[in-house]
């Protein structure tokens, strides 16, 4: 392995959604970095509610930001030029090169008209990236065998063919049917597409891998392609998840001896990665819930961001969660809102221009003396800030639509002061506050501030989240190294063009 040698791009494509492509791509970003290369991630089109803001103040999918972090490089919109953020069951906000260009239904988005323009944009982004990094670690989307969408596909085999990438097909053996899904996915490709598939990676294996050795040989004989690895399922490595499916399993009951923190489980919850650090903090027991009884047992209630603030506020009022939050706060529970949650905590949320939908106004929870008006212009930027009387310099980012202002004669009382002097959020007291800043909880000083009222019951333990994340990327890379044929993968990537 010669780090200065040019490697082909590598694409991890899938037999289906949620087979582990994002995590495998992150692992290889770290592996290539460890081996002396300068890798960068790329996913032409991502669909996710979780997003992140680049240093330039532009929006990309959170998964590519995580992969860039694993690669040790700053994230950029060229790593995810096209992002779809679902706003309902049938429509998504389309974000191109970090900026929203409108809402589209699935039918409008996937029709052939206009696809070539988008194809040029994503291919251009890849070309720029490939000129700066070696290798580019690409990720496909969903299944590569959705042949009904072949002509409009921007992200799987057509993208690999443009890039000249070696494709590794990732299959999840835990869900069953691995032979059919691998063989079918390959056989459904056209001949020119099939040539780019150079390896098969079996993911999420449970049990004794030796029992699958005959299966490896069968797959190789059936498909004529080598199996480059069988990666076991793991539980002790913690990498950010791309979507919120797993949150449903984290709605556990409160625990004794820790600060119990409830994150309100909104239907359109976005940027749930805001709470990852609390999930790891030994002083905290974090759970997600929309159960009113569980909410009443929390010491701290966090209201998260939302892709559809008014719809989620309406649902909170309908299902009784809004009333439970207000009652819990009256009884001494701390309530804090982030982004959409901050908007929800105010006196009202208005949408006179129908940016989000048909609801023009709803009363908020009334915990903050603020009013929010939705606006079409999206704010996206990284920020440096201090909070209250604390001098610790903190980092975060904003992604929101809407402008929040004070109502009546409410006094100025910002939670945060940005480095350019602007104010952010509102602070009533240590038990009631809100902010637009995502990532605020990634700052240890702010976590200490939030937990301070409960200090008497907990033993303070320092927790370095950045060091923890670096350790997890290294553990992931070690895990994947042990179970893939890395020399074969390098051989594939150095092969004749």
Phi, psi (degrees; rounded to nearest 5) at 35: -85, 10
Cα 339 from Cα 304, distance rounded (Å): 7
Q: What is the three-class DSSP state of 140?
A: coil
The catalytic residue among 97, 339, 394, 400 is: 339
Cβ proximity of 50 and 67 under 8 Å: no
For residue 48, which of 149, 170, 181, 139 has the smallest C-alpha distance? 139
The answer to whether the bond into 135 is cis (omega within 30° of 0) is yes
432 included as an active-site residue = no
The catalytic residue among 76, 268, 400, 438 is: 438
For residue 490, which of 172, 171, 157, 35 has the smallest C-alpha distance? 35
Burial of 495 by CB count in 10 Å (0-12 exposed, 13-18 middle, 19+ buried)? exposed
Q: Could you tell me the CA-to-CA distances from 340 to 79, 212, 265, 299 in Å, in that order?
A: 26, 48, 13, 21
Cα 105 from Cα 88, distance rounded (Å): 9
339 included as an active-site residue = yes
Cβ proximity of 222 and 179 under 8 Å: yes
Indicate the pairing of strand 361-363 with strand 348-350: antiparallel
Contacts for 6 with CB less than 8 Å, ≥ 6 apart: 134
Phi, psi (degrees; rounded to nearest 5) at 416: -130, 155
Contacts for 489 with CB less than 8 Å, ≥ 6 apart: 10, 168, 199, 228
Cα 340 from Cα 304, distance rounded (Å): 6
Q: What is the three-class DSSP state of 302?
A: strand
Strands (E), 297-411: 300-303, 305-306, 334-338, 348-350, 361-363, 370-387, 394-406
Cβ proximity of 237 and 483 under 8 Å: no
Q: What is the three-class DSSP state of 180?
A: helix
Phi, psi (degrees; rounded to nearest 5) at 153: -70, 125
Q: What is the three-class DSSP state of 460?
A: coil
Cα 397 from Cα 37, distance rounded (Å): 29
Active site residues: 339, 438
């Amino acid at each position: 392995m010669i780090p200065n040698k040019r490697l082909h791009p590598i694409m991890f494509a899938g037999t289906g959604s949620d087979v582990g492509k994002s995590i495998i791509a992150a692992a290889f970003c770290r592996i290539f970095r460890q081996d002396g290369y300068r890798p960068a991630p790329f996913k032409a089109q991502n669909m996710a509610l979780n997003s992140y803001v680049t240093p330039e103040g532009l929006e990309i999918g959170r998964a590519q930001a995580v992969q860039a972090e694993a690669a040790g490089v700053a994230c950029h919109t060229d790593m995810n030029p096209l992002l779809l953020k679902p706003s309902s069951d049938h429509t998504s906000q389309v974000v191109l090169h970090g900026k929203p260009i409108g809402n589209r239904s699935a039918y409008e988005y996937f029709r052939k008209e206009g696809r070539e323009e988008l194809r040029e944009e994503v291919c251009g982004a890849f070309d720029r990236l490939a000129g700066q990094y070696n290798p580019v670690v690409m990720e496909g989307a969903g299944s590569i065998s959705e042949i009904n969408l072949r002509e409009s596909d921007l992200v799987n085999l057509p993208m690999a063919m443009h890039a000249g990438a070696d494709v590794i097909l990732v299959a999840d053996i835990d869900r069953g049917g691995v032979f059919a899904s691998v063989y079918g996915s390959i056989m459904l490709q056209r001949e020119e597409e099939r040539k780019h598939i150079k390896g098969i990676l079996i993911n999420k294996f449970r049990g004794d891998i030796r029992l699958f050795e005959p299966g490896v040989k069968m797959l190789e004989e059936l498909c004529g392609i080598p199996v480059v690895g069988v990666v076991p399922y793991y539980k002790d490595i913690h990498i950010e998840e791309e979507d919120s499916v797993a949150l449903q399993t984290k709605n556990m009951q409160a625990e004794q001896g820790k600060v119990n923190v409830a994150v309100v489980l909104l239907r359109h919850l976005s940027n749930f990665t805001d709470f990852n650090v609390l999930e790891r903090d030994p002083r905290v027991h974090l759970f997600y819930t929309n159960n009113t009884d569980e909410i009443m047992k929390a010491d701290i209630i966090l209201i998260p961001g939302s892709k559809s603030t008014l719809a989620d506020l309406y649902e909170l009022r309908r299902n009784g969660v809004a009333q439970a939050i207000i009652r819990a706060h009256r009884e001494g529970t701390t309530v804090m809102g982030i982004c959409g949650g901050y908007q929800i905590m105010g006196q009202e949320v208005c949408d006179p221009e129908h940016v989000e939908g048909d609801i023009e106004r709803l009363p908020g929870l009334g915990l903050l003396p603020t009013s929010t008006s939705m606006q079409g212009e999206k704010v996206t930027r990284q920020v440096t800030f201090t909070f209250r009387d604390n001098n610790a310099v903190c980092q975060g980012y904003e992604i929101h639509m809407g402008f929040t202002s004070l109502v009546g004669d409410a006094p100025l009382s910002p939670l945060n002061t940005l480095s350019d002097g602007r104010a952010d959020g509102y602070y009533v007291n240590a038990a009631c506050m809100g902010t637009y800043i995502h990532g605020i909880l990634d700052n240890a000083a702010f976590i200490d501030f939030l937990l301070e009222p409960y200090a008497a019951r907990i033993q303070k333990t320092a927790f370095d989240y950045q060091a923890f994340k670096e350790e997890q990327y290294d553990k992931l890379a070690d895990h994947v190294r042990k179970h893939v044929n890395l020399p074969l993968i390098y051989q594939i990537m150095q092969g004749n063009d």
